[in-house]
Structure 1
Amino acid sequence: MLRQTELFYGGDYNPEQWSREIIMEDMRLMKQAKVNYVSLNIFGWVNIQPSEDVFDFTFLDEMMELLHKNEIGVDLANGTASPPAWLVKKHPEILPITINGTPSVHGSRQHYCPSNQLYRSYVKRLSEAVAKRYADHPALIMWHINNEYTCHISECYCDSCLAAFRQWLKEKYQTIDELNRCWSTKFWSQSYSERDEIFLPKEMPTFKNPAHQLDYKRFISDQNLALFKLEKEAIRKYSQDIPVMTNLMGLHKHVDGFKFAEEMDVVGWDAYPNPFEEKPYPQFLANDLTRSLKKKPFLVMEQAPSAVNWRAANGAKKPGQMRLWSYEALAHGADGIMFFQWRQSQGGAEKFHSGMVSHNQDPESRLFKEIVQLGEELEQLNELVGTTYVADVAFVFDWENWWALELDAKPSAKINYIKQMRDLYKVFHELNIGVDFVHPSESLDPYKLVISNAQYLVTEDFSTKVKAYVNAGGHFMTTFFSGIVDENDRVYLGGYPGAFKEVLGIYVEEFYPMPLDAKSRIAIGDGTYETETWEEVIHLKGAQAVANFTQGYLAEMPAVTQYKYGKGESYYIGTKLFEAGNRVIIEKILTEADIPSTASEFIQNQSHSISVTCRENQLDNFIFLLNYGQKSETIQLNVSAYSLLDEAIVQDNITIPANDLKILKIPKVR
């Protein structure tokens, strides 16, 4: 398999939009910006297959040759992201159908049903044709399959999906009796005697069966994965040694990233933080999540050089913001920084989405100078390629739990998987504690602390795994409304949180969701901390109270608990805390689990403004110091180090200007 040897830098390139004169100017500017990698042909279907019986690779051939001549590698897409008009006209049955029965029409993108076998046959034919032609081209570095699966079409209710869903259910449950049991169909007289009695969960008079809805979400994710695998297999027919990937979207709800990552050689995602945010923690979290899908370096496949075009107010990135956030991704394991797109489009729906080359076409513009600066810097950092991100803490992340948790008919509509995870993640980021994300099927053993946030759906296998992990000396923390149901959305009986009750040493008798706009407080030691959303009646069954509720019926009752289980410790937070409360609890756990801040062995003082992360290989540690503050900060060093961007040895201390960074290389003691 072709191995990456340098940090990738570039963006989506769409030369079909431009004249020959501008294309040649692009080559000159790409060299100036140190671009070494571009994504090509992502929306190229109609360009290379203008009609059903005609393939015309003339223009794409020229672009591949031109890029190779200019020493720019190509992430080549098979071009399936947007079906052409001739295909829609001839076969309108490939179009997706909304929940209300409305089909899409041509004129946007991603207008296809992933289950439709006819559509799949056209995709297979196109993918094979592209792979056969370019498999041995020297410019080819990566295969890019499709684009942002389910970005726009996350549901389809057509007849193809109905037939495929029934077949999917047959393969999963084998018998109709087993389906009825797992779906709890005795409720509301929903029992089925034949599979053709089952429909997609379309419009219904009131609440739908949650097990039915959950399986539909699993099905849609699996159908898109099956489409990806079909496209991949078509490419692999002619190309075995070139890595294959698609661009995921980080905290995107509708496809299971762990399942997709199993089929990808390299994982990438499209990062679009909001410039109005000082620190966009969801996107920071998504960097760590994307890396964690394979526990290997990842690629930022798209980001905006400045503004996007699809928010209500599309803020431009301030001077230095694009650079600092690019290094945030690099610090957390990225081996490439890419943009959408190279040149800002003159027309079309994304013409006001910024490009590396702006509408002003001014190579002296502030934005292009920043693009060039970043490219020049990344060229100095190729020894980072393939290095490992250092993390002592793991968050459990499970797409199936996310789907189940946020279905309707729950005790509170304010439960939000990602927002609650972001609140906890923010504390670890601010404390400079590196985190991975793990799927419930993965081992917990490499980590000193495992966080299970709002893990409503828990299998018996994971429950057993957590007990073994804590019993052996691990530290485990979970939050309210966790451990409630099994994989079929059936409640564990005998008291909440059923799957975690034993390892936590508690029994929750009853939930007490708070009014949607209400606030309360809990007492921790001599202080009190604000809460919202959730309270509950917790009984101690061996655990001890770390914090108590302070108001109403629950006053003086446990709110946060701790339990020694075997050689380890478990913690439970029975309410939704704000940042100050989360921080005091997390700092307590980190102390007890003996988890120091990242790079504390090399650094004496760590400022709140400085984000500290570490990547490593067998020989060296690479310490990233990113200053998100508004003033310079000086960090005291315990060892001498080499500052990569300064190309200088530093001793005793190093100063990081505001909105800037340093990367230190520190040899390991051998």
Structure 2
Amino acid sequence: MPETTPRGLTGLAFGGDYNPEQWPESVWREDVRLMREAGVTLVSVGIFSWALLEPSPGAYDFGWLDRVLDLLHENGVRVDLGTPTVVPPAWFYRAHPDALPVTARGERLAFGSRGAICHSNADYRAAAVDITTRLAERYGDHPALAMWHVHNEYGVPVSACYCDSCAAHFRRWLARAYGTVDAVNEAWGTAFWGQRYASFEEIDPPRLTPTVGNPAQALDYRRFADATMRENFTAERDVLHRLSPGIPVTTNFMTALSQCDSVDYWAWGREVDLVTNDHYLITDGRRTHVNLAMAADLTRSVAGGAPWLLLEHSTSGVNWQPRNPAKAPGQMARNSLAHVARGSEGALFFQWRQSRRGAEKFHSAMVPHGGTDTRVWREVVELGASVGSLASLRGTRTEADVAVLWDWHSWWAQNLDWRPSEDHDARERADAFYEALYDRHLTVDFAHPEADLSGHPLVVVPALYLMTRAAGDNLRAYVENGGTLVVSYFSGIVDEHDAVHEGPHPGALRDVLGLTVEEFSPLPAGGRVRLTGPGGAELDADVWTEFVVPRGAETVWTYADGLTAGHPAVTRHRLGGGTAWYVSTRLDAEGLDALLGRAAEDTPLAPRADLPRDVEVVRRTGESGTFLFAINHTATDAEVPLGTAGTELLTGGRAAGRLAVPAGAVRVVRLDG
């Protein structure tokens, strides 16, 4: 079996993307001197270097990379070696212009950026395997090599191509998936609008049409595009496994729900030896540390709960948002250690030395334009020492309290055209429910709808429009066996082919929820409704309402106004040993907190009212002990209860009773016993 941890690392990883090809060799020795000063243990090399490694077809130049890897090895820095297949050289596109992707409008994109790839193109596939083979033959047993890094951020910026090569590949994919064209017609519902196909050869990608095309075809094309990228990854991975045995192979994910919607990371997580992730703060006015925690929890969940690795984030500002503020003093360490708290085996950045040229020259780096006499550099050195002091964490796992269901296929289907309201956003509901759980100081595991949920006393379904019958049966069994389920509106509506489940809504969930929905009633822009509930308490909601008919469920909150006035808004259904809650409208933060508070009463989860808002408390546990992370995202000093005394690893002091966490600081306590 391949290794799942970087070879040669004895502690947590610290470092980043190293692009020495951007600098004269006279800078390289200064780089490694500074890496030693900062405590760097791992760097990613060669990700964008195909044009340098193969400057003309079949002519290779590995000399510069030999010198870089040897220099890093001499200085004790391990290497995450990239296969540079995200950017083929200009000569490749001149010889194979059909390897450039084509949009749904029929426009062929040009060379000059990155990721401009038709993943179905046979010439690209052959060239990618060839350069990967050359690298593996040369460096497969290099003493600096810790892991392999295939490609870069699959799906960004292009995942789907609509060219003729993709059309032929799509037909083959459909033939394998369905067997017959009649099965495709049935799954896609092609009787509607006379879209029936008599043979696979009549099927094209979902290119631009006069009006909305077939949603089931569009959904399958998302699956096809994702599977095609994954085929290319596994082709390179298998070469590396064969020629470089014992070295883990990965590719960097982007699991933050707002950043990459074209990749089914549940499927990808099964293909990599070690799950790695890139995460960048979206500075749109929201609490960025909550989205960070969500991305880290989702990445850990894709890894099956096993430790993972943060392969990229930023020391300070990025360069690709409308406004790119710097991180506040201490925020770099706080961000980095929050990822570690939620399962990362280290913290790496993009990139080591800030570029002077190119599209990302204003993206922050470990060594900024200002050099070492800067706040960023001083914080990098301090963080390196902190990460080094946490070596005993290695291999431990983050403890979670609740589960949130998420499925990329459902998100793809939800985002197709002609849904009941453009104001409903499945990702927004996932963010909102996650934030409500975060504010109740509950650590979240994400789970596939068909996964085993028995270890979680509370399961939340934010907005799962697409749900298989197997998933519905799974949730029913979960509740019958004593679990507590909370489901948001517009969930369980269609099957895996985007066909409405037979019978009343919500088809896959109506039995477990003990109700039916007669009709959706989305609100007009800006519309709001009030809900009345226990003791006359009122909640506010917007975007969506429904005509809910209880069929065994009890009404907890009722619509007080609007078209659905007098109808149930929030229900609770006792089933077997558990309960299932349903909320048929979009509650605000206060409403979600009230809902989750009531649902938590059906679980053994203990209230955590003694923890301040925006102070995270997360535990990692393993053979080396139990470690409590306390992360203070506020400008006020805080205290958190310990329960058990221990040693604070970042300061070396003892801690007992209540742990003091200064404003903006992080504390990590190895608990006694």
How would you bin the TM-score normalised by the shorter chain? over 0.9
- Measured in 1, the distance between the counterparts of 2:282 and 2:517 equals 39
Deviation at 1:591, TM superposition (A): 2.3
User: In the alignment, which of 206, 224, 228 is matched to residue 223 of structure 1?
Assistant: 228
User: Structure 1 pair 609/237, CA: closer, same or farther in 2 (3 Å)?
Assistant: closer
Letter in 2 for 1:164: H
- Superposition map of 1:526-605 within 5 A: 526-596=536-606, 605=610
Q: Secondary structure at the match of 2:124?
A: helix
Deviation at 1:284, TM superposition (A): 2.2
Letter in 1 for 2:462: N
- Superposition map of 1:162-561 within 5 A: 162-250=167-255, 251=257, 252-275=260-283, 277-294=286-303, 295-361=305-371, 363-525=372-534, 526-561=536-571
- Over residues 83-105 of structure 1, what are the superposed CA-to-partner deviations in whole Å (9 max), with x where a residue is unaligned? 10110111111111111222122
- Measured in 1, the distance between the counterparts of 2:153 and 2:542 equals 35
Residues 543 and 561 in structure 1, CA contact (< 8 A), matched pair in contact too: yes
Q: Secondary structure at the match of 2:68?
A: helix
Q: 266-275 vs 125-134, which deviates more?
A: 266-275
Residues 433 and 596 in structure 1, CA contact (< 8 A), matched pair in contact too: no
- Over residues 310-347 of structure 1, what are the superposed CA-to-partner deviations in whole Å (9 max), with x where a residue is unaligned? 11111111111111111111111111211000000010
Q: 290-299 vs 524-533, which deviates more?
A: 524-533
What is the aligned partner in structure 1 of residue 629 from structure 2? 624
- Superposition map of 1:61-72 within 5 A: 61-72=66-77
Residues 512 and 536 in structure 1, CA contact (< 8 A), matched pair in contact too: yes
Q: Secondary structure at the match of 2:612?
A: coil
Residues 42 and 147 in structure 1, CA contact (< 8 A), matched pair in contact too: yes
- Measured in 1, the distance between the counterparts of 2:642 and 2:151 equals 47
Residues 531 and 539 in structure 2, CA contact (< 8 A), matched pair in contact too: yes
Q: Note if 1:82 corresponds to 2:84.
A: no
Q: Note if 1:637 corresponds to 2:671.
A: no
- Measured in 2, the distance between the counterparts of 1:584 and 1:333 equals 30
Letter in 2 for 1:265: D
Deviation at 1:279, TM superposition (A): 3.2
Deviation at 1:435, TM superposition (A): 0.9
What is the aligned partner in structure 2 of residue 666 from structure 1? 671
What is the aligned partner in structure 2 of residue 37 from structure 1? 42
Q: 64-73 vs 105-114, which deviates more?
A: 105-114
- Measured in 1, the distance between the counterparts of 2:599 and 2:395 equals 32
User: In the alignment, which of 32, 36, 47 is matched to residue 52 of structure 2?
Assistant: 47
- Measured in 2, the distance between the counterparts of 1:230 and 1:17 equals 29
Deviation at 1:428, TM superposition (A): 1.0
Q: How many residues align?
A: 662
Q: Secondary structure at the match of 1:86?
A: helix
Deviation at 1:519, TM superposition (A): 1.8
Q: Secondary structure at the match of 1:374?
A: helix
Deviation at 1:280, TM superposition (A): 4.1
- Over residues 462-501 of structure 1, what are the superposed CA-to-partner deviations in whole Å (9 max), with x where a residue is unaligned? 1111111111111111110111111111111221111100
Q: Secondary structure at the match of 2:175?
A: helix
Q: Secondary structure at the match of 1:534?
A: coil
- Over residues 63-115 of structure 1, what are the superposed CA-to-partner deviations in whole Å (9 max), with x where a residue is unaligned? 00000000000000011111101101111111111112221222111111001
Q: Secondary structure at the match of 2:545?
A: strand
Deviation at 1:667, TM superposition (A): 3.4
Residues 630 and 668 in structure 2, CA contact (< 8 A), matched pair in contact too: yes
- Measured in 2, the distance between the counterparts of 1:16 and 1:552 equals 63
Q: Secondary structure at the match of 1:329?
A: helix
Residues 159 and 229 in structure 2, CA contact (< 8 A), matched pair in contact too: no
User: Structure 1 pair 279/349, CA: closer, same or farther in 2 (3 Å)?
Assistant: closer
Q: 98-107 vs 429-438, which deviates more?
A: 98-107
Residues 344 and 358 in structure 1, CA contact (< 8 A), matched pair in contact too: yes
Deviation at 1:17, TM superposition (A): 0.7
Q: Secondary structure at the match of 2:601?
A: helix
Deviation at 1:393, TM superposition (A): 0.9
Residues 640 and 658 in structure 2, CA contact (< 8 A), matched pair in contact too: yes
- Measured in 2, the distance between the counterparts of 1:219 and 1:56 equals 36
- Measured in 1, the distance between the counterparts of 2:373 and 2:641 equals 37
- Measured in 1, the distance between the counterparts of 2:643 and 2:115 equals 54
Deviation at 1:41, TM superposition (A): 0.1
- Measured in 2, the distance between the counterparts of 1:382 and 1:639 equals 21
- Measured in 2, the distance between the counterparts of 1:633 and 1:191 equals 65
Residues 505 and 518 in structure 2, CA contact (< 8 A), matched pair in contact too: yes
Q: 372-381 vs 272-281, which deviates more?
A: 272-281
Q: Secondary structure at the match of 1:60?
A: helix
- Measured in 2, the distance between the counterparts of 1:437 and 1:204 equals 36
Q: What's the TM-score, normalizing by structure 2?
A: 0.96
Deviation at 1:277, TM superposition (A): 4.5
Q: Secondary structure at the match of 1:328?
A: helix
- Measured in 2, the distance between the counterparts of 1:365 and 1:430 equals 35
Q: Note if 1:113 corresponds to 2:104.
A: no
Q: Note if 1:28 corresponds to 2:33.
A: yes
Q: Gaps spanning 5+ residues in structure 2: where?
A: none
- Measured in 1, the distance between the counterparts of 2:629 and 2:603 equals 24
- Measured in 2, the distance between the counterparts of 1:267 and 1:378 equals 19
Percentage identity across paired residues of the two chains = 38
- Measured in 2, the distance between the counterparts of 1:211 and 1:65 equals 52
Residues 462 and 488 in structure 2, CA contact (< 8 A), matched pair in contact too: yes
- Over residues 512-543 of structure 1, what are the superposed CA-to-partner deviations in whole Å (9 max), with x where a residue is unaligned? 00012222221232321211110000011111
Residues 6 and 382 in structure 1, CA contact (< 8 A), matched pair in contact too: yes
Deviation at 1:445, TM superposition (A): 1.2
Letter in 1 for 2:341: A
Letter in 2 for 1:194: S
Letter in 2 for 1:408: D
Residues 83 and 151 in structure 2, CA contact (< 8 A), matched pair in contact too: yes
Deviation at 1:282, TM superposition (A): 2.8
User: Structure 1 pair 128/280, CA: closer, same or farther in 2 (3 Å)?
Assistant: same
Q: Secondary structure at the match of 1:273?
A: coil
- Measured in 1, the distance between the counterparts of 2:622 and 2:337 equals 19
Q: 335-344 vs 439-448, which deviates more?
A: 439-448
Letter in 2 for 1:451: V
Q: Note if 1:608 corresponds to 2:608.
A: no
Residues 274 and 315 in structure 1, CA contact (< 8 A), matched pair in contact too: no
Q: Secondary structure at the match of 2:563?
A: helix
Q: CA RMSD in A?
A: 1.3
Q: Gaps spanning 5+ residues in structure 1: where?
A: none
Q: 465-474 vs 369-378, which deviates more?
A: 465-474
- Measured in 1, the distance between the counterparts of 2:641 and 2:409 equals 45
Letter in 2 for 1:365: T
Q: What's the TM-score, normalizing by structure 1?
A: 0.97
